[in-house]
Structure formats: structure tokens, C-alpha cells
Structure 1
Amino acid sequence: MEMNLKIKVANRLIGEEEPAFIIAEAGSNHNGKLSQAKELIDAASRGGVDAVKFQLFKAEFLYAPQHPAFSIVKENEFPRDWLAELTTYANKKGILFLASVFDREAVDLLMKTDTPAFKIASSDTVNLPLLRYAASKKKPIFLSTAMCNLADIYEAIEVIRNEGNEQIVLMQCSALYPTEPSQVHLRAMDALKGAFRRPVGFSDHSLGILLPPVAVARGACAIEKHFTLSRKMKGPDHSYAIEPDELKLMAQNIRTVEQSLGSLEKVMLPEEKKLARRESLFARQDIGQNKEITAEMIEVKRPATGVEARFFLAFVGRKAKRAIKKGDPLLWQDAEA
């Protein structure tokens, strides 16, 4: 499988050496109210994330009416006639509008709003007909991988690729809400990247905001996190979601982590060099011109304004080219070879 470690969503590159793409997952926390959906978009915009995401599930496409889950899902559906208005609203707020698709109708509706990408929930990673249809639209796909083994993920990727679509981000996650830290398995991101040579992100269902920055430190190129206006609200997704102030702090922490990663080089920083907080060679006594420099004439002190202390023995035995005063730093140009 060829390497494709970067993709592009709208004007944002996602992958190695790029800032993490942060998705604020609103889920069904709109509670069926358009005004509340807009408040969620407002909070996501203020939180400094890249995208806000909702879920376009429809009970009739997921369960038979007699199934116990049917009524719960029905109550929490995202009204599809909101799509155009909320997409425009999000764009005006400076963030992207994304949605998880669970059926072909949802794919078509998002195409009408020129969605920048599709999200495929873990439950549908093995829904190959849906994957095939979404992939045929040639939009980037965020592919969640809970409940999946490597064979499931390989098959899903091949279905997408067979439609001529290489724009895939694999999302490590679990299908447990909330997820305990011991169930998160961030190291699985390494396995996904190694096996499939694709950008890998982390969809976090744990409580709090600790793990997304940790995931970024381990190489996650995208982060998805459920959020709500208040955990006190009624609904299936509110209790484990983070609130707006936490979302903003999480995004800030992620950006701080990215800054702290730095480069692969191990060198003295320019600012450290200015501090000169290391030892160097100094004259322990006055040294006359043409005088041979002995070990007794040299001492090691701070700051590092003279010859580095490691060259102590290399400096012994040289002749002073000039008179050197006690306490002066010793420089290479002060002594003959």
C-alpha cells in the first residue's frame, strides 16, 4: 500500500508536520433546536477549533420501528433541512461544517452544501456499500475504527481506494461512552500508521481534556472531541462531553504541545547561547606574552565566553601571543599552536 501521509480538507493540510485538525463534535447535543445548534457553532468558533460536526443519522435507516433504540434515535435526529443554513452559519463564523453520514441520502445532501469531507462512524466502517458511495464523491473521509480489527480497516480502505479516492484519515477510538483511560490504546495509532501508511487521528470519548494533547504528542494529526453547552442538559451525549471553556482550553493545550515538539535536532538554542550558562577557560593568574601556558595557569569558570572547557588539555603547552590578565577568558587567538 503506497504512502499517503497528508490530505487536504478545504484549505487545510492534514498529516505529518501539520497542525492537528481539531473537530468539535456536537453530535446530537442540539436537542432538536436550531438555535441551540447555532450556539454550539458559536462555542466551537470561540474555542479555536477547525471544524464543528453533527451526525446525520435517521432512525428509519438504522433500526426497525419495534427496536428499543428506534425511539431514542428518532428523538435525537438532526433535522436535515438545517444543513444549508448551518453550513453557511459555520462558514461565517470561520469554521468548517462537517457531518457523519449513515446513509446515501445524507451523502447526497452534504454534496449539495459542498461539504469539505465526510465522516464515517465506526459502526459503518464495515458498511461497504455506504463507504463505496461516499468514496465515489471524491471527498476526504475521516474513518473511525472502533470495534474494527486490521482486516476490517484494510477492507474499508481498499473499497475507498477502488473508487479512486486516496483522501483518508484513520481515527483511533473506542465505541464506549465514556471510555476509560485503559481502554483508549493510543499506541494503536502507531499500528494504524505502520500498517496503512495513512494520516491517523484520535476520536476521544474519554472524560476531560487530558488525552487529546497526549495523542497529538504521539503523532495524532486530527482530534475529534464531543462537546456540549452544558453537561446538565438532558440527552444521550451531554454527560460525557466537554463544555465550551474546556473545549477552548483543550485546543490551546494542543497548540502548546505542537510548539513544544520542536525539531529532531539536538543543539544549543540561540537563547541558551546568549545566556552562556556553561563553563569555559579563564586565566587563573596573569600570563605574560610569549609565556608557555601551564595547567596551573588555567581555571574553568562561567560564563562560556572563552574556549570550551573540553579543550583544557589542548590549551596547555601553548604560548601566549599577548599578555593575558588574571580573570580574562582564554581565546584561541590568544595562544600559538
Structure 2
Amino acid sequence: MKVKDYAADHIFSFICLIVSGLLVFGLLWLIEIPIVFIFFVEGILFMAFLCAFLYDYLRRRKFYNQLWEILERLEEKTLIGEILVQPGFLDGQILDEILRRCNKYQNDRVADAKQDSQEYREYLDSWVHEIKTPIAAARLIVENNKNPATLRIDDELRRIDGFVEQVLYYARSAAVEKDFKVERTTLQALVNSALKTYSKPLIQAGGRPVFNGLDVPVCADTKSCAFVIGQIISNSIKYHAENLQVSFSAYTEQNAVRLLISDNGIGISSSDLPRVFDKGFTGDNGRKYSKSTGIGLYLCKKLCNKMNMEITIQSDLGQGTTVILFFPQESYLQEAGL
């Protein structure tokens, strides 16, 4: 708070002080009080009012400067009411009480929202597990009654199962780290786990997997990583060209292991590439292929961020796509608390 701002805010009080001083001076002059005594009285009154204004300005400046300083340093701005020291002047106390009540209201709203979100996630978890039962039963019926029609039904059931998995991970994405179980495994095991789900559609698309040096140990959450790799394989199948080939290669670096998943599909345009991880973004390919949802890569990016992994994409239109997953070394994961 600046002196000029305080003076401008109290301009009416200063005017009243000046007018009062002139009235006192005039009254004392009319009753023929000696001029020296008049100036002495006026001086005392002026010093008293000056000290009062100065004291009020200093305590207000201390409070508001502290308020701004705390606000600038505080990450959670809504907590300012809990941290602020109660001031000694009335309007500051009113402001402090308002901030505390607003903070309590905000905390209550956040708690309610968290509770609603938790109940929603629990419901979706239950729904996913419940719906997987009839899907598994339907696929078993198809397996025992194979014909062209049931095989097509099996393909659709597989798609439904994939969407159900997306729903599950999407619902858990806000607090997915609570479900992490980091363990030692190999890239080959992670890829094999993902291929179990997508081996049939990969074969139907005329594709084949190619492996190169995947016998590399990593520390990862196997379920989440298998889901991420599965989404990448699914995209390779969805946007495949003739003679589809999906290759998996591993490279070891000082602080990480890289898994490269490459295909020879239709590729991604340079204008779409920076946005492929955006939620709901489908791009030019998505407009050509109605099966696109724009959720798969978004979930991959979100899961990788939660696991302290990195995911990047390189692609040229008509030349295929390469997705690179960076698995941090075990020491880095320990530092991150995973």
C-alpha cells in the first residue's frame, strides 16, 4: 500500500480535518484568544490527527503487504484465509472473516467433488467388472459356435472389450498411481502381454510382429504398460496399409530404456502430429476412419506421465509411425516414490 493511495482513499477525512481546523481557528479568533495560543492548539490537534493517520496507515500497510506476499508465494490460493494473521482493525477483520468463510466453503465443495468423483470411479470399476462377465460369456458362446456370423460378432465383442478397458483406465486416470504395482519384468513380457489381446486382429489385418532385442529388464507397472502398448498396437492395426508390419525394438541408455514401436501404416500429417495426445483429437485420419475416438493416445500420455515415463511420436504421412516409450531406470523410480 502506497501513501498516495491511502491519502486518496481518505481524502474526505483530510478535508474534514482542514475544515475543522479552520473553524476552531476562527472561533478562537472571534473570542480574542492570543494568536500564539491559537497556533499552539492548532499544532497539538494537527499532530494528534497526523499520528492517528500514520498509525492507521502503517498497520494497514503491514497487513495488506503481508496479504499480497502470501498470495504470491502460495500455490493453493484458496488456503490464504487459513494462513493470514488476523489484523487489528475492523475492516481487515471483516475481510479476514470473509476469506476464512470462503475458504471453508471452497474446501467443502472440493471435499464433496472428491467424494462424488470417488463414488463415480467406484461405480465405473464395478460396472466394468460386471459387463466383462457377459462379454466373456458371449465370446465363449462364439468359440463353441464358429461360423462367419459369430466370427464377426467376436470381432465386435473384442472392440467392445477394448472400449471397456478405455473406460476403466479413463475413470482411474485421476488417481491411477494408487493402483500402480511396479515390478521387475522385461520389454518382451510387456509386449507379449499386449499382443495376447491384439494378436487376432493383427493377423486379420495381414500383419505380423517383428522383435529386436526385447530381452531387456525394466521396472514398470505391467498392467498399465501393457494397456499403453496395446493402444499403440491397436492404432497400428486401425490405420494399417498393405503388408502391415509392426516392429518392436529396444535401446538402452544411461538413465532409461527406449522401446520403439514402429509400423508401416498410413502415418500422421505434420499438422496433426503436435496434437495427437490431446483429449478427443482424431485429426485427418480420424475423419476418414469413423472408429477413431481420440481417447487412446490421450490415456497413454496420461498414464505415462503418472508412471514417470515419456512417450513421443514420430511420423510422416504415408511412411508409417514410430512411438517411443522411455522407461526410467530403477534408481529414478525409487527417487520418484514409485
Structure 2 length normalisation: TM-score? 0.21
Which has the larger Rg? 2
Structure 1 length normalisation: TM-score? 0.21
